[in-house]
Structure formats: structure tokens, C-alpha cells
Amino acid sequence: MKSAEVTLSAPTGLHARPAGELVKLVKGLEGSKVTVTCGERSVNAASMLSLLSLGIKSGTALVVSVDGGEEAAALEAVVKFIESIKE
């Protein structure tokens, strides 16, 4: 399992559109289970409702963990996506 910390810088936080795009990215990472941890809660990043339930606001530090598949490549892709969210 590989993990990395990333901070969401989007001024509006993680809302439906970018959460949906993140879910699409994660579902395309065959063989990898991606988990997002915010504070004390961890959720499966393949579930939009679970991601939205975290209430991630701008400036929030998240821990992204990837288990299975191409862990390093999958982790890099998810972290880059989260860093690129600007809306």
C-alpha cells in the first residue's frame, strides 16, 4: 500500500463535478483500491456519495492511499488530479 498527503486548494472545496471526475479516474485504475482519508474518516474514492460526505473544504489536507495494481502510478494520478482541481 502506498499513501501520500495532498491539500485541496479549490476555493469551493470538493463538490459534485470534481468528485464525479475523481470517481471516474479511480474506477479506471483497474486492480487498485483508492481510499481518501479526511480527519478521522476514510472512504472509498470510487463512491461519489462517500467522497461528498467528507465535506472537504478548501485548504483541507487529505491522505490518499492506494492498494493493489500499479500503486505508484495510481497514487501519482490521483494526487495530481486533486492538486489540479481549481473550481
From the candidates 1, 5, 15, 27, which is the catalytic residue? 15
15 has catalytic annotation: yes
Q: SS in 3 state form for the chain? A: CEEEEEECCCCCCCCHHHHHHHHHHHHCCCCCEEEEEECCEEEECCCHHHHHHCCCCCCCEEEEEEECCCHHHHHHHHHHHHHHCCC
Task: Tell me the catalytic residues.
Answer: 15
